Structure 1
Amino acid sequence: MIIKEFLPKMKNIIVTIQFLFLFSLIFFTNSVKGQFNIPNKPKKIYPVNDYVGILSETQINQLNKKLIQYHKKTSTEIIISIIQDLRGEDPNYLASKWGNKWGIGKTYKNNGIIVLLSINDKKISIQNGYGIEPYVTDFSTKRIIQKITPLLKNNLYYKAIDLSIKEVFKIMKNEYENKKVKNNFHKKNWIFYFSFILLLLFFFYQKQGIEPSLFNPLFLSNMFFWNKNFDNQEENDFDEFGEGGGNFGGGGSSGGW
């Protein structure tokens, strides 16, 4: 009699345990699938981070150069992250999380932008730091993605990324202008005027029949290359991105191709 009364309760307990086990299994599976491990912050962060290898070294260098120059001019940091797949993550969430982890954008300015491409998922997300939100709106990022979608469909990844960068440049113009650039501009002017005066003196002495040893061809060639070397020094003086900005969640959008 006691056994007959206990059997139905036992069945209910077994069914409940089975249900909880199945629920836990589904939850665990989805959790594992939805975990994308964002790479640790590199010692020196460059703008382009291609973890798939879809860009050539030349293309990476060209994009890096363009983004570094823009960074020097405006202090705005734009990161391109290319991954194989999202592993179930939402692209907007992952991009924002990436920007926060690496601290993209300047401290107190939060002027960072991250462009995330997932090749297998055929998805792209453009996310902004809070300092960028007033300029690059959700509508703007959506329009950029729509504009580059035909290129992505044809696997023209470099052209798509390059076009997206140009569109951001147009929208941002020279917001967050870097004060250091003005100082560099004055230095370049000083070098130009000094070189011009020396050149005038050279021709003056030649006209007078004087042969100053100072103005030998080697000196003149070095003088004309000063400005070029100054530009190269500027390129080599790249301090890296990710000095403590972050604060992503200031808008953006995603799309597929």
Structure 2
Amino acid sequence: MIIRQLLSLIFITVFSISGWAQGDFPEKPNPPRLVNDFSETLSEQQERQLENKLLAYNDSTSSQVSIVLINSVGPYAISDYAFQLGDKWGIGRKDKDNGILILAAMKDREVFIATGYGMEGAIPDALAKRIVEQLIVPNFRSGDYYTGLDQATDMIFMLASGEYQAAEQLSENGRPSGTFPFILIFIVGFIILSLIKNRKDNNNHMGGKHGGVDFFTTMMLASMLGGNRGRFGDFSSGKGGFGGGGGFGGFGGGSFGGGGAGGSW
């Protein structure tokens, strides 16, 4: 009797997990979209603004940032779910693996930023963690989901654009641009100084009493420097000029290797 009950319990558990494995990863959207809210958290206008913003960035840089909101990740760790979903959908270009997935499980109250292989240098785990803790979590905690996603993607654009602009300049000229390393060093130095300063100063825009980088100051600085001038502002909040044509053409077959960070609210 006990053995039969134990076998039944094992069968139910295995069946439940296999059901999640087969059925709880959403299918790749058709028609393709960069913002997919399966939890119905965002308004139609908010979805449209984020979609336009991410589409403009994709058209201008070839990097793909996708936002997915679901109800729950079930028995998975949210990090594993994000990596598997990013691989299944192929977010990013196959030859660059330059995809980023922001996954939020709304009923679980968990969020994770997964970075493709090609983006791990531009957005290391420590910076992904900062974005989650300083931008997404505080806004999600107060119920302002759109603002959290909007500010997080702004910061991702700023961090990611430097690496790919540098790569383009290197391939065209055969050597690094003379000004870019100084611009990058300046930005990194500014962020480090801000982190040190804001440990003592609780009144900052980005982190509140928990400290962090002054988000708005950093964004203004980044938009004024080097090759980002006149480009970064076009992506912000889904407004401004959207270069590059029509709708999203689809994901490009990118892969994910375990980079990223998450948190809960």
TM-score (norm 2): 0.65
CA distance in 2, matches of 1:105, 1:34: 23
Runs of 4+ in 1 over 6 A off after TM superposition: none
Number of the residue aligned with 1:59 = 46
Number of the residue aligned with 1:75 = 62
Whether the 8 Å contact between 1:77 and 1:241 is mirrored in structure 2 is: no
Deviations 1:176-211 (A, max 9, x none): 3498xxxxxxxxxxxxxxxxxxxxxxxxxxxxxxxx
Number of the residue aligned with 2:264 = 256
Whether the 8 Å contact between 2:60 and 2:243 is mirrored in structure 1 is: no
User: SS in structure 1 opposite 2:118?
Assistant: coil
Number of the residue aligned with 2:117 = 130
Whether the 8 Å contact between 1:35 and 1:88 is mirrored in structure 2 is: no
Deviations 1:89-115 (A, max 9, x none): 221111111111111111210000000
Sequence identity percentage: 33
Whether the 8 Å contact between 2:55 and 2:248 is mirrored in structure 1 is: no
CA distance in 2, matches of 1:54, 1:143: 23
Deviations 1:115-134 (A, max 9, x none): 00111110001101101111
Whether the 8 Å contact between 1:36 and 1:89 is mirrored in structure 2 is: no
Q: Does 1:153 align with 2:161?
A: no
User: SS in structure 1 opposite 2:66?
Assistant: strand
CA distance in 2, matches of 1:86, 1:141: 20
CA distance in 1, matches of 2:9, 2:26: 32
Question: Per-residue deviation at 1:234?
Answer: 4.2
Question: Per-residue deviation at 1:88?
Answer: 2.5
Whether the 8 Å contact between 1:131 and 1:250 is mirrored in structure 2 is: no
For these two proteins, the number of residue pairs brought into alignment is 192
Number of the residue aligned with 2:246 = 237
Change (3 A) 1:241 1:250: farther
TM-score (norm 1): 0.66
User: SS in structure 2 opposite 1:249?
Assistant: strand
Whether the 8 Å contact between 2:79 and 2:262 is mirrored in structure 1 is: yes
Change (3 A) 1:108 1:235: closer
CA RMSD of aligned residues (A): 2.5
Name stretches of at least 5 consecutive residues in structure 1 with no aligned partner.
Answer: 1-13, 180-230
User: SS in structure 2 opposite 1:44?
Assistant: coil
Whether the 8 Å contact between 2:113 and 2:261 is mirrored in structure 1 is: yes
CA distance in 2, matches of 1:120, 1:233: 34
Number of the residue aligned with 2:93 = 106
Give the one of 150, 159, 175 matched to 1:162: 150
Change (3 A) 1:18 1:254: same
Q: Give 1:108's aligned amino acid.
A: D
Number of the residue aligned with 1:214 = none
Number of the residue aligned with 1:189 = none
Name stretches of at least 5 consecutive residues in structure 2 with no aligned partner.
Answer: 169-239
Q: Give 1:114's aligned amino acid.
A: L
Number of the residue aligned with 2:225 = none
Q: Give 1:242's aligned amino acid.
A: F
Change (3 A) 1:36 1:89: farther
Question: Per-residue deviation at 1:62?
Answer: 1.5
